[in-house]
Structure 1
Amino acid sequence: MVIIKKLDWYVLKKFLLVFAGAFFVVLFVFMMQFTWRYVDDLIGKGLSFDILAKFYWYMAQTLVRDSLPLSVLLASLITFGNMGESFELLAMKAAGIPLIRIMRPLAIFAAFLTGTSFYFQNFTSPDAQINMRTLLFSMKEQSPAVEIPEGVFYNGVPNINIYVQRKNTLTGMLYQTIIYKTDQGFDRAQIVLADSARLEVTRDKMHLRLELWNGEQFESLESSGGAATQMMQNGAHEPFDRETFRFKTLLIDFDSNFNLMDKSLIAGMPTAKNMKQIQQSVDSMNAELDSVGRQYYKDACVTYYRRPQLPAKDSVALLNLLRSRQGQSTLAFDTIVAHADPQKLQMARQIALSSVKSVSADLEWKAMGADQEQRSLLGHEVEWHNKITYSLACLLFFFVGAPLGAIIRKGGLGMPTVISVAIFIVWYIIYTSGMKMARDGNINMVLGMWISTMVIAPFSVFFTYKANKDSVVFNIDAYKHFFVRLFGLRTSRHIFRKEVIIDEPRLDKLPAEIEALIAACKAYNEKTKLLRAPSYVNVFFHHVPDRVAEQIDEQMERIVEELSNSRNRVVLEVLNRYPILYTHAHTSPFDKKWANVAAGLFVPLGIVLWFRIWRFRLRLYRDMRVIVRTSEQLLALLQGNALVEEGDTVTDGAAVSPSGSIIQRWALNRRVVITLLVAILLVVAGYGGWHAWRRYQYKRYMQEHGELMPNTPKQPDGGVAPGQMPLGNGAPLPLRLPQQAP
């Protein structure tokens, strides 16, 4: 007997509450999106409430498949984000419960949802698809409700245009009405003018009854008679009939009933079948395509690729005749054509051309039928795979959302909603692209339908593993540090004055350490020759760490750490000028020997890394000089007794001289100027290249269209040279003339 523990009930209750809300919200969004696709076919049709209720009920059943994956992703992300933000996950892990154990009841529920989704798609959704599509197509064919606006002509009634200047919505009266009737044809058009009118629908909803008061009716008479024709030829106007009335009733055919179309017309769609029916349809279509293909092949062998077959004795006689004439001279086909009768040649060409056109039309018709059958077959196979991939997406999205929520530790509807929608959109784009390519036959069916699952499955495993190991996947500082080291971005120190200082700096011993640091930096710059280009072989194949630079960095960091306890703001400002050294970036690109060797053997990558190392060597040379200059300023502060009292301002020339800041400002300005110059040069070069490419494309286009033909002879009077035919735009088109025999 399986005992559900309180922890499982607690996690399930938190998840189910969020999942229920997320599911109905997502379902509502999908229903609104589907409604907006067909809003033009629904509005203005006078549909009753029960028809709309049925339509939305069947729509909701068909959209359960689309709503479940996103709901599971959103609910799992919010649930575990809330528990991580409120430190509930931390408390569970502190009690010795791993994340996989916390996720176990929800994983079982996600598997249950996977089965539920499959059941809906295989048993409930096909019937709902038939009913919904039947209602939708019937709504499209439904006649619109008569709602005549004011001041414009209304053509919602077939063969009638109605204009109303003013209407009373309470009584339904229409005033100053103009009616154009073309139900008898445009040559017998009728125009009705009425002072007032009223429009009603009959009880059977098959006609419109239009009651008119105080008006006139004009009808054009046919002008096919002899007298009327003679009158019009003599300049008279076309005759018409005029009728004046005080009250008149017009009965107009208008079917406003809702007629439901036959469901059997929809039953053949792939979405209206379960997996068993789809498999039966696929087998029958494959058999039909094979039989049709074999029949087409037999027809082609009989008609298009037919060979004359002679009886046995005729074949032997023909073979003997050919052997006897083997040594005789033969005539070329061109010679026979040249000496043939022109009329017979023209007739033969016409017969051959008509035969080719007939064969081409027959093949195109057969290809069109086969292609339509093939597209129907691919559509059935796509729907068969859809029922599995959408169901499996519920389980995969849970193993993406739950660990992701535990990692980011953000609850609520803000960040989780953004992340879940972004993940779902990426998955849906991949799924739709693969599905369309598979449906069109561009890629394999299995690959196209399962590529989205292949993409999301590794991420679900990766996020679950990282969350269970408490790995920091979305730590922005870690990625920032990685890119800073990768691109060699400059970082600066930020040392602030401490409120409480426990260990005071050793002012008696620090000057000696600073002097030793200055001497070490000067000796290092003189010995290593950092301004020279590094050796390619030494960089990639003989990696030696720079221990001296590491020792200088450690010595500088000790001085900075000790003097950061100073109360003097000037000292803290000088400490911020010390650079942050990269003591490994100027020797080799990687710490492992095999990685350096591989990068060195791959010459294009090796050259890029070699320039990067040279850049870091130049930076290290400048950093050493900055360390010397900053250490001298700091030494002057210490030796000049600038640390006597807190808040004193330093008057020593070496300490307060703005040369350091001026040099730094000048170096910064120089970098900015160089960067701007390089950017301007790149923009100019890019524009020049783009302009040259456009010019080349223009010349090529002009040459291809005959508007700029090199070496084209022209007549002195501007006419067309021999061997050319003018186009519609005046450009000559070169023709290949037949060569005359010598």
Structure 2
Amino acid sequence: MRLLDRYILKEVVAPCFLGFVVYTFTMVMDQILNLSELLVRKGATLSDVAHILLYFLPGITAFTLPMSVLVGLLIGLGRLSTDMEIVAMRASGISLYRLLRPVVLFCGAGWLLSSGLSLYLAPWSNYRLMQILYRVAFTQAKEQIKPRVFNESIPNYVIYIQDIPATGESWKGVFICETQKPENPRIILAREGRFQINMEKRQAYVELKDGITHSFSRSSTNPENYEMTKFESSAEEVDASSLFPQVEVQKRDREKDIRELFSSIREREPKREPTRSLWIEVHKKFALPFSCIVFGLLGLPLGIVNKKGGKSTGFVLSIGIILYYYILITTGEKFAEEGKIAPFLAIWAANITLAVAGLIFLVHSARERSFWGFLRRRAAEVPGPAAATLRRAASNGRSGGIVLRVPRIFIKFPNILDRYILRRFGFIFAMTFSSLAMLFAIITFFELIDDALDNHKPLYLILKYIYYYLPQMLFYMQPVAVLIATLVAFGLLSKTSEVTAMKACGLSLYRISLPVILAAATLSGAAFYIQDYVLPRANRKANALRNEIQNRPVQTYYQLNRTWMRGLGNRIFNYNYYDSERERFNQLSVFDFDPEEFTLVRRISAVNASWRGNQWLLDKVWTREFKKGQTSGFKIIPRMTIDLPETPGYFFKEQKMPDQMKYLELKNYVSELALSGFDTVKFRVQLAQKLSFPLVSLIMAILAVPFSFMMGRRGALYGIGVSVGLAMVFWGTLGVFRSLGYVQVLPSFLAAWSPNIIFAIVGLYMLFTVKT
């Protein structure tokens, strides 16, 4: 290998590796928090967490490796072009075609690695990941039963838990409605309970202690036929299959390697069974790795003509090309599934079009002709107004005009130097932020495309989901973008000796970094606003759309749509239907219970109930009162009025989860739960995080400033690498401390604020000790 080849490879390998790390980290960023909580709070073993991450990575890397190849070429060759090294090579008689040799070698290596992942390793790891997730989910299925929420996921059971301690081992205050026999339902109340799973036999039990069972026959005309049974302990086997993911012995098409796919095709063809989906997977496993070669043909000419933007423009350009590639291949896959086009053409169309475009660009670049200039000249030959516009643009002519001179207003801050630094920081921040947004859109689209196709859902639902979930992901990505922008902006200023010039003019590093610190503080303020006024509604919309795409029951957030709900104080309502316009219930039952003993004190049943004035009017009523586990009174009343604090508006009010509440809403919710004696540990951690997390952008800027000045003249790539490393450390720390707060190892304040405090102290110490 000659010196030139080694030099080109050295230039493209570093940004390729960096792009690979950035893309992979972006895709696993959300999983880091989930895995840390799984390890600390839910009791999963370290081995399970490590295996989940290990099996998760091959499928991700098969996706990110071709993208990284394109980024490496565009950034590496863009740097050579920016520093006029490509001009020097051409002046020395080196043809552009000569540069193809190291580029083809580089892309060929990427193609081989990606092929190994796509054809064999990724399908195997995806199947193993599904198996281990099933096993972990089986053992952690009880986590799906939340306190103060009516859980109806177990067939024929409605389960309501008053409280679940932080240890999660037992339930306090259990209310169960069992309807295996609809004509004879049972109401069970117990002081304690727990959910037990026998994984080997795949059985689940609800164990209850110190409880009473209430039962009566709805078919009976006499409501006096009422039975009560006390028990000290009880174990009921339940059908909990809906809590666990269903794993079939037979692999799905996307979890088969290439040999298994061809074997399945050979088995189906003699039986005349459809093989279209199998051929689509076959072509995908070859086409996606081959994109490394296609990106090489396209990246070489685009990289060397990228002179003004350098590395930053190369990164943005790569995102645009990747977005086009995956949109085209996804659209083709959908058409192939519907039988509109052949699988080969559907999957390979993106490679073919980009390869043709790359060859055209390559030929024009080798001849030192501008392809865009060629298009302008051809288009300008067309008669009409458009031609005149293009000719004026090509001539760079400027029409005369009136020049107005406005007196300059002197502003002490931000001065011209502050605005220069802010422009540099703002450009890199906007570029990074938009790139991460496009990357997230691509990742999410491919994450849900299989569900949409399997469930025959239109693709626009995925786009709507991305639209509504994007604010949440950008909320998480904003600190990373601030970190990268700060490190790269000051890194580039240091590399070009502009920081040295500023210091020579008497400016300290503190004064130089002030506009970026203030900009980060402004972004933190914007994060507070987004968290309170944008995310709650957007998250609810996104959750509903995701459930629709995956064919899950759409979660309702209005109590109007529920037949079970908790009232004010110690009361539970059950009804068949509630007419909000007429303010009328059908088949209403009201359960009043003692919160200390968790036993019924009164039960009211009415055929109809309507709101009259400021009272509820009940028709065809019977009431039963209890004392010390025995019936103390029973009445049958044709019609009665009752004063309840729950007005009609209460049954129509919106129910929100903590992450869908504003700060003050969650604060009031925590106070209400605490007054009722419930465990509020998790909610207090989430409340504290609503104040701590928006400030992460400011913390990242404080941390990045001294790092950027310490990098010296190493440049942007080094800064991006450092920023990704810091982001990974911070994200892991955030997840661990949050989980420690959930299990009460740390107070809620420290669980939420410790990562900020630790990284802020480190950043401030480095900032005050850096030479200035």
Whether TM exceeds 0.5 here: the answer is no
Larger strand percent:
2
TM range (shorter): 0.3 to 0.5
Larger Rg: 1
Q: TM-score, normalised by structure 1?
A: 0.45
What is the TM-score when the length of structure 2 is the normalising length?
A: 0.43
